Amino acid sequence: MAEELNMMEALMALCQERHIDQLLLIDRLEAALAETYAKNLKLDWGAKVTIDRETGKIYVYELEPIDDSMDEEGNFTEFIEKKLDLKGVSRFAAQTAKAEINAIVRNAAREQIYEEFSGRIGDLINCTVLQSTADFTIVKIREGVEAELPHFDQRRNPGERNERPMGERYPHGQHLKAVIIDVRDPNSTLPPVRGEHSRPPIVISRTHPELMRRLFEQEIPEVYDGAIEVKSIAREPGQRSKVAVHSLDDRLDPVGACVGPKGSRVRAVVGELRGERVDVILWDEDPAVYVANALSPAKVTRVLIDEEKNYAGVIVPDDQLSLAIGKEGQNARLAARLTGWHIDIKSETLAADILKNVPLPAEPVEDLLDDEGELEVERCAYVSPEGVQCRNHARPGSNYCGVHDPADFDGSDSDVFENAEDLI
């Protein structure tokens, strides 16, 4: 009797420590023990186990079907419970069900965590580092609730996550801020991730763009209240980020509010991100203006937008080209992610060289137009190699003027015709 009470006390203490429903644990334990006894005692029709909630005494029953309880599919629906008088039932249960109890406790705790945190995807959490390995870091959210920050080597483990910014390390006891990106469902039918059962079910990230949004909400009251809207975020974690903001109040400067007095607000975000550079960009409804703002701090001369191809051609002063592109193309790359446009950057000198070789469209000659803007007579069809059309009138019945009409030249005069463009 004392041994049974000790087992119940141990189970109840475990439930309290792991925040598990005691009745749920006992129900699951009864089902697991019934399966274990049926297998070990070789009972044809299974077994039923009940555990006294107060004393912890275990009762085992053998199930025997009632003959007239068979349904249309040939399955028995009613059983007689025949009590088995086994010596040392509690000791036998403790030996054979140890693994089952551990599994039940672990799964019940995961279910409870899933119910609580599955609706908090994207939330910012404060946590404390408990342990760091080469592949992941375990953190404590609160007593009894832990989370995993994975940082697997993508070359060795291409199917795993890497949610740690480049250069960050997490010693024991350090305080971190991160966002929840996943909560593993313990009842999922999907194949488990390697080592998942031995790791916490909550997955957090320090690289996700949502972390930047939550930090802005925490440090900038106008963003939290909704007066300033964070439109888009582009990050290269640990290095540089761009954040596009828009004010719903015309009297409020969104960039100035986010930067704060002497940069105090954005500096708090940078400090939490361990020195990651943050550019606050003014969002604009005009894509040309938005693209030009996104390339800050570079100054932009002109932006040409092709909406069909989702293409933005950007012209910058010669001395701003390297700044617009950034180190290893980082500034242009982040601007493209932020705006969603494919950005092609060219200097003014290169753009001028390209445009001068593009033939300009021929403009109508005013004296050939009537009052309604229609051509009264046809112009000469000759076009010089430089793309300039002859301004003379075409002869009646011909497409050319008297200077360029091929019918006026024979073979001896071919040189005159070949150089006729000089007369234009």
Residue 189: predicted pLDDT = 61
User: Using N-to-C axis directions, what is the helix angle for 22-40 and 89-96, rounded to 10°?
Assistant: 100
Write down the pLDDT at residue 57. 80
Q: Does domain 2-108 have CATH number 3.30.465.10?
A: no
C-alpha distance from residue 70 to each of 73, 140, 172, 225, 312 (Å) = 8, 53, 62, 65, 74
What is the predicted pLDDT for the residue at 211?
A: 96
38: its two tokens? 């049926």
- 284-358 CATH fold: GMP Synthetase; Chain A, domain 3 (3.30.300)
Q: What is the DSSP string of 158-212?
A: TTS-B-S-TT----TT-EEEEEEEEE--TT--SPPPTTGGGS-SEEEESSSHHHH
| Cβ partners under 8 Å of residue 268, min gap 6 | 219
Full-model pTM: 0.68
pLDDT confidence of residue 373: 47
Residue ranges covered by each domain of the chain: 2-108, 121-187+198-207, 284-358, 361-424
- Residue given tokens 């006729």 in the structure block: 420
Number of H helices, E strands in the chain: 13, 14
* pLDDT the model gives residue 365: 44
Q: 261-268: long-range contacts at Cβ-Cβ below 8 A with a sequence spacing of 24 or more?
A: 265/219, 265/220, 266/219, 268/219
Cα 332 to Cα 150: distance, rounded to the nearest angstrom: 29
Can you give the pLDDT at residue 419? 39
Amino acid identity at 183 = V
- The distance from CA 275 to its chain's CA centroid, rounded to whole angstroms, is 22
The secondary structure element, H or E, covering residue 39 is helix 22-40
Domain 121-187+198-207 has CATH 2.40.50.140: yes
Element (H, E) at 148: strand 145-150
The ranges of the chain with pLDDT < 50 are 360-370, 373-376, 409-424
CB proximity list for 28: less than 8 A, separation 6 or greater: 104, 107, 108
What pLDDT shows up at residue 423?
Answer: 33
pLDDT at position 356: 67
Q: Are 277 and 296 in contact (CB under 8 A)?
A: no
